[in-house]
Amino acid sequence: MYIIITPCFNEQSYIDYPLKSISSQTIEPIKWIIVDDSSTDSTAEIIKKYATNNNFIDYHYRVKPNGQDYFTSNVFAIMEGWDQIKHLEFEYLAILDSDITLPVDYYEKIIAEFEKDSMLGIASGIYENLIDGKLHPVLNDRRSTPKAIQVFRKEAFEQIGGYLPLKYGGEDTAACVMARMHGWKVWSFPEIKVVHHRPTGTGNAGSLLKAKYNQGLNEYFLGSHCLFVFIKCIKRSLKEKPYFIGGVTRFLGYIMGRFNGEKRIISKEFMQFFRKEQIKRLLSLNKKI
């Protein structure tokens, strides 16, 4: 019914979490392809140990080109995994990060939502960050489905052509926008919660403030409307740690994107559609529309 792809790089401290989660799912995947993006620690050994007792796990090693940035490499790893399984018969494609703990019925619940609505193209639960032993809610919008726990209807993933290799991230947001451009619905379900074992964005950034700055760059290169980003940053300044400075840093990243010198790789049609959505959300006070 579903296949999972997990990209990973030097995840020896975290990979046990998803491995244990998938091993105990109420609905077992047809296949779980774990793409090792040239790890240099013991990630491979841990995966192979689990694979001996779970025949649906397929370990795949990817040779990462020198100098390839984190987010782009992550996307290429996923798409290399996709090339391994796209010919198979299945209905849903799940993308799962290597630092996530899922409830045992995560995929059962997500698949049930797909079966309720034939036009649902992408779905997910929401995650909470585990920081210093405490769970911290992450601000979420029903229109957003984080790549860490995203599930696609196979037809929708094929139609949008998979993920865009965006240097500063946001490939999950881009996928959601492209799906809506093709008429699919995209929803997250806040009652389905998972645990994220690292603060969002710090897997590559190393610190929360660097992650916030990168998220601002991401907003710019996705073509977000300036007013939308400004209001979003104010909201997150008040509700997300680090308070105030986090939102300021994020907006600074957005502004600096203008002076970065790099061209956006998204299309003009994408940016126009995305900005129209954002203005509509502002005018509706972000109601579910």
Mean pLDDT of 111-140: 91
Asked if residue 205 has pLDDT above 80, the reply is: no
What is the predicted pLDDT for the residue at 239? 81
pTM exceeding the 0.85 threshold for the entire prediction: yes
Please give the average per-residue pLDDT across 168-174, as a whole number.
94
Does position 289 have pLDDT exceeding 60, yes or no? no
User: What is the model's pLDDT at position 203?
Assistant: 58
pLDDT of residue 139: 74
Residues of 80-93 as b/e, b for ≥16 C-beta within 10 angstroms? bbbeebeeeeeebb
pLDDT reported for residue 37: 94
Average pLDDT, the chain: 92
The yes-or-no verdict on residue 201 having pLDDT over 80 is no
Average pLDDT over residues 156-178: 96
pLDDT in tens, 14-50: 999 999 999 999 999 999 999 999 999 999 999 999 9
What's the mean pLDDT in 92-108? 97
